[in-house]
Every structure is written in C-alpha cells, then in structure tokens.
Amino acid sequence: MDIDKLFKVPKLPTGGNKRKMPQAPTPEMLKRMKLDDSPSSTGGQASVPTNGDRVKVRKATVRDEEDEEAMDEDESEDFAPGGDADYFVEEDEDGRFFGGGLTSEQKEILNIFDKSGGEGVREDVEELSITGIRRLIQRFERAADKNQDQRSKYPDDPTKFIDSEADLDTSIKALLPLAQVPVLAYPELVRSGTVEKLVGLLSHENADIALDIVELVNELTDEDVGDEGDEDEDAQQDKEAALKSLIEALLEQSILELLVDNLRRLKEDEESDRQGVFHVLGVFENVLGFNPQLSGLLITKTKLLSWLLARLQVKKHDENRGYAAEILSILLQNNRPNRLEFGKQDGVETLLTVLSQFRRRNPVDSDEAEFMENIFDTLCSALGEPEIKDLFLKSEGVDLMVLMMKEKMESRSRAIKVLDHAMSGSAGTTACETFVEALGLKSLFAALMGKGSKKHKTGATPASEDTSHVLSITSSLFSNLPSDGPARVRVLAKFVESNYEKVDKLLEIRETAQVRLKAAEANIEIEKRELLDEGEEIGPEEEEAWYLQRLDEGLYTLQTVDYILAWIVMEDDGIRSHVQQMLDRRSKSLKDIAKTLQIYYDNVDEAEQPAPEEDMARAPSQKEILTALIGFLEGC
C-alpha cells in the first residue's frame, strides 16, 4: 500500500456538486406570485406611478371561486401577465425595484408569450405519457424538417424561413420537460432517431438554435433527471439505464466535438452566449460524471484543453471562468496522458500565471476563492507526474510558491500544499534543493511553529492541514537532499537553533497524534468485538479499512513526525540527547519511535520500490531508508 499516494491526492470537484446557473423568472414563477397589497387603504383601486402616468391596478381582496373566474375573464386583456400587481412598475432613480424586477423588453416578451400558442405546448407537457412524449417529438421533427427545407430553398431571404425558425425554437424548448420522465422519454428519443437530429442542429446557422440544443442536452443529461423524491432501487436502476442509453447515443453522434466547436463561436459579452458556454461546460461535467474515462477522449479528440487554458487567463472573474477551472481539474484527475498533454500545452506556466495574481491579494468573494482553490488543486494533481515536476521547476514554480508562503494571504496555505506535491518522491529532489536555495526554510518552519498565518482568523484552511503538509515537506527534504550537501546542513541547523524549539514542537505534535490514535484504537476494538460476537470473520479487507482509519485519526501524522525525529536524532548528537530527555519525561524512549516506523515499513507498497537489478547509483528506496533508521534507533 502506497501511503504517500493515499494522502497526497488533492480534493477535486465531483459531479455531485454540480453548478447551477441562476435562472431568470419564468412565466410559471410569475403566475405563482401573490398580489401585493395596494397603497390605498380604502379598497377598490389604487394608483401606482410609472413614467409620469398612473396605471390602475386592482387591490387584492378575498373572493369566492365564482368571483375569481369572473374576474379572470375581465382582467385577461388589461391586467399584467401572471397577475402581478407590480408588473408595470419600473425602477426608481436609485435602481430599486418596486415591481417584479423585469425590463420592459422582458415584459414585452412575456406578453407575447401569453398571447401566443404557448399554452398549447404546456398542455402537452402537463401529462408526460408516452403519447404526449411522441407528440412532442413529432412536433420537433416537423419543425426541424420544415426549417431545413425553407432554409435550403431561400438561403438568401430570411423572411421566408424566420417563422419556421421561431417554431423550431419553441419545439426544442418544449422538449425540456422530458428530463422529468427519463425512463419513458429517453428510449423514445433514441429509438426514433431524434438524438441524431438534435445533435445535427448544433451546427445550425442560427447560433440561438444551437444554444437551445445545448441547454436541452444539458438538462437531459443531468444526473438529477427524473422526479424529485425518494426512489426505490429498481426505479433508480431504470433511470440510470435510460440516461446511459441517451448519453451513448449522443456520443455516437460526436457530440463532444460539436460542443467544443460551438464554444469557439460563442461571444460571452452577450448574455445568451454566456449562458450557452455555461451549459456546454455542464454537458461536459454530466458526461464525465457518467463515465470518467471519457476525459481522455475530450483531450485527444477535441481542442477543449486549449480553450480551457485560454479561458482561465481572462482576468475578469465570472461564473464560467470558475466552471472552466472545475472542468480542467476533473480532466486531470487520475489521468496521466491528460496531464502530459496539459504540460505540452504550457498548462503549468498558465496556472502559475493565473495564481500569481493571488500573491498579494485575497479573492474578492467566495466564488473567486473557490476558483483559486480549484487552480491550486489542479496543479497539485498534475504534479503527480515527474514530467510535470520538471516543467514546474523550469517555470520557477518553487520560487513563486515560496514568495506566496511569505505573504499573509489565503494563498499561503495552498502554496504549502503545492510544494508538498512538488517535492515528494525521488522526482522531487531538485525541487527540494531549489526550495532551500530560494530561502524557503524560514517560511516553512514559521508555518510549523504557527507564526505569520491568519488562518485562525479566516478559517479557510484548518491548521492541522497546514501542519500535515509542512511535516510532509520536511520529511521530503530529509529523504531527498544529499547527506553531505550544504542544503541538508541548513535544514538540520533549523532544529538546533533557539534551544531546540522545533524539536519540542515535533514532540508536541507527536503527543497530540497519539491521543487521537488511542481514541481511534478504542473504537476499532469495539468494532472487532461486535463482529466476533456476530460470528463474522475478520479478513484482510477489514484490517485494511481499520488501518486507513488509524491513518486518518493520527497514525499518518505520527509516522511522519517519527520519521523526521529519527533522521535528526541519527544526524546530530545534541538533538539525540534532547529528544531522549524529553521522551523520558513522558515515559517513552527512542524504541517507541522505532515501533512506529516498523508499522510504516510493513505497509509501504512493495510495487513502488525500484528493482534490485537497477543502477546501483539510484537513490535508496523508502523501505531501505526505514530499515536503516529502525536499526539505528533500536541500537541506541
């Protein structure tokens, strides 16, 4: 078992936390709005000023159902859509809304919608039976065929096909409710060949039609499709099977390539295009949530990666920039080919450039803070590859992270985390040397001692997480720096200065970890007894689960601290005497440190160790280092 890998994987966003674009008020929402009380207290009618005129609106009163029906008929022509008493009221000079918060253009659109045949479409949707579903599909196919026919006949005369385009727009939007009944609707979409026609419209000359399709596909492929509420296991399986069939049919029509092509023709300074980009990214998240292996296809078959990297560099932050960072982090998660391609396209340099803006300022809000976190995590994920570590060094990433560590900003903790990933393993040797040369030791040990950080005020990153990464960096320094080099001497000197205060800090952290571990051991013993009482056998799977639980509850910290203590005790006699004295006060000895390292040794993954026949000049393996440290401690 490779413990380093278990505890160095950055937390990346998953499909379960899907972003949602804030929606504008819909006609249905407006119809549910209640009538507000009129300013007049005498009843009857009240006048509300708007643009110098006064528009008479009725005050809300209690009426019987018969009166309601009569009033509905009287008001159908002269009252606002949805029965909103404040519908016609505009903003005041300060920009505050007295009414529904809609622009005059939006109000006009809703008036047209209410007077049009939109109600007929909604009637079809009210009961989504198989008959209603087929009717919606047929209406869409007729509208698509008619529009295609008229566009081909009159390509230079938009007046000839504009009506059919409006009908096509309406018929596409009418398919949105099919996401409520995936088990019924999706097999019908696939069987009828409608999926092919839908994907084909992504190349429509009118970008608005393509945007309609993108929005529809985003809704249909969402992991939360179907009616809300608890579902039994069989219903859930049916829904997943229906979603799988739809996504596979979309992929057969090369939808990913077409979506990326649409990204390049959208202009985000327009609101509709901005929402279109958001929906395209939503489709990518849906598809990757369905099958993470498709991330390789997205990188190799499309130009999505170059688009994402360019989008991240836009200085103005918005929802789509944050979403692009999320998608990039998902694409690089546990995928070596994607990470290498990311490196080839100067991804490391791009991310470092983006992160440099947070060196001396904090994110302005929670959205930008999430964006910064995603960029740091993406970089951590990519640094799992030795080739990316080399690019990180060439781009002076270590120097930038050291500068961030010196600043009292939110990026400080994340910079420590990135350095942990960059300096880990034998491939991190050069990064360790560069870190010492860049004067990173001062900031590192200041973080260990809890100095110069505002994390206790912001609460952005737990202190324990910072401490874990600092300890991991320190252990990497001892593992990777040459034993006779000046850099290693400088690291060791840090533990001697100020009357061994950093050694005392390690012993303090060790004691805290032991307390946590003892509590975890007690809980594990209870679980063991319960299993034995029930006649269950304790196998390797249970033992592995309990070991992981111990690691999470203090054993990992204890192992890292004892690894560092073993190194400094072995290399400096003064430190050894001090540690022995402090352990003796706690009724402990160096042999207790050796026992911890033995557990560490027993659980190091053998597969990660170099083969014996490899070059003898290679760096010693982790097991070889642990063997030497344990032998020394037991001999003391």
Task: Copy the structure tokens of residue 274.
Answer: 């901005």
Q: Give the three-state DSSP class for 326.
A: helix
Residue 84 and residue 66 share a domain? yes
Please work out, in degrees rounded to the nearest 5, the angle formed at the alpha carbon of residue 436 by the alpha carbons of 435 and 438.
65
Q: What percent of the chain has pLDDT over 70?
A: 75
The number of distinct structural domains making up the chain is 3
Residue 152 and residue 137 share a domain? yes
The pLDDT value recorded for residue 41 is 40
pLDDT at 360 over 70: yes
Residue 524 and residue 544 share a domain? yes
Q: Which residues contact 165 (CB under 8 A, 6 or more apart)?
A: 147, 206, 209
Task: Copy the structure tokens of residue 597.
Answer: 């390292």
From 81, 115, 149, the end of a domain falls on: 115
Residue 178 and residue 89 share a domain? no
DSSP assignment of 519-583: HHHHHHHHHHHHHHHTT----HHHHHHHHHHHIIIIIHHHHHHHHHHHHHHHH-HHHHHHHHHHH
Residue 142 and residue 75 share a domain? no
Q: How far apart are CA 451 and CA 457, in angstroms?
A: 13
Instruction: Give 144-185 pLDDT, tens digit per residue.
Output: 999 999 888 888 888 888 898 899 999 999 999 999 999 999
Instruction: Specify the higher pLDDT residue, 535 or 261.
Output: 261
Residue 596 and residue 546 share a domain? yes
Give a yes or no: residue 569 inside a domain.
yes
Q: How far apart are CA 333 and CA 355, in angstroms?
A: 19
Residue 161 and residue 96 share a domain? no
Q: How far apart are CA 571 and CA 579, in angstroms?
A: 13
Q: What percent of the chain has pLDDT over 90?
A: 62
Query: Residue 332, Cα to own-chain centre: how many angstroms?
Result: 12
From 291, 313, 337, the end of a domain falls on: 291
The torsion angles phi and psi of 53, rounded to 5 degrees, stand at -100, 175
Domain that holds residue 60: 27-115
From 54, 86, 115, the end of a domain falls on: 115
List Cα–Cα distances, 195 to 40, 239, 514, in angstroms: 56, 18, 59
Q: Give residue 537's pLDDT band: very low, low, confident or very high (50, 70, 90).
A: confident
The pLDDT value recorded for residue 225 is 83
For residue 97, the cross-strand partners are 91
pTM value is 0.77
